[in-house]
Amino acid sequence: MNFHAISAIYHFEMARTRRTLFQSIVSPVLSTSLYFIVFGAAIGSRISEVDGVSYGAFIVPGLIMLSLLTQSVSNASFGIYFPRFTGTIYEVLSAPISFLEIVIAYVGAAATKAMLVGVIILATAHLFVPMTIQHPVWMLLFMVLTAITFSLLGFIIGIWADNFEKLQFVPLLIITPLAFLGGSFYSISMLPPIWQTVTLFNPVVYLISGFRWSFYGQADVSVGVSLAMTFLFLSICLAVIAWIFKTGWRLKA
């Protein structure tokens, strides 16, 4: 394992975060704070509790997960797309470094950035609503798995995209709607039975449900199923990336 190469790519990606601090950290935190104000205060004043939890506290896991998903995909996709756009990706591909080490470096940096945003939002949430975390270890596990999984997805998107429009297409028109429809602001038990069934085909439901369980001990889907679905999605992303590097699809052309 070439740890020097991994460290070089990782620190280069993290340095870009410091240069774009407002866009990378401040902007998503401010946006999420507005969600707390609008949904937690305005709507929360009309909804007393959801499953025994105040509405303001209920939406905290969903908002953190929403930011985690979008930031993971955005950071990873741009991180690998920009070297392809400038042509510097060939320097990485010709270096004595395996595809596994490349993925670890780029995905690790993207996941770290997303985790940083998630932790800051969690700390910010305490300023708006009183909340407790019943299972902090499980909370951290779900955050790490989600950040890594969607960073892998973002890595795939960054290789697939051949222009900036495609780079924004999946996060804006697929990931964000799935997160909103995945129970970020409501429990799926509040939906009519037929829509509850339809919602279970949304993979984000399992992430948010498991993450919310780590806070309040309540979930729409069992924790075991949530973990299984997360690992399944993670495995699929790894398999796709392995195929990409094996065939050189959109990398060597």
CB contact at 8 A, 160 and 166: yes
pLDDT of residue 40: 66
Distances (CA, A) of 18 to 5, 22, 113, 163: 20, 9, 10, 25
Q: Would the pLDDT of 19 be above 80?
A: no
pLDDT of residue 171: 81
- What DSSP string describes 166-233? HHHHHIIIIIHHHHHTTTSSS-GGGS-HHHHHHHTT-HHHHHHHHHHHHHHS--SS-HHHHHHHHHHH
pLDDT band, residue 253 (cuts 50/70/90):
low
Q: What is the pLDDT of residues 118-131, one digit of tens each?
A: 999 998 888 888 88
Measured CA to CA, the distance from residue 105 to residue 68 in angstroms comes to 18
Quick one: which H or E segment has residue 53?
Answer: strand 53-54
Structure-derived torsion over alpha carbons of residues 95, 96, 100, 106, reported in degrees to the nearest 10: -40
pLDDT of residue 242: 93
Q: What's the mean per-residue pLDDT of the chain? A: 88
Q: Cα angle vertex 108, ends 15, 184, to 5°? A: 105
Q: Would the pLDDT of 181 be above 70?
A: yes
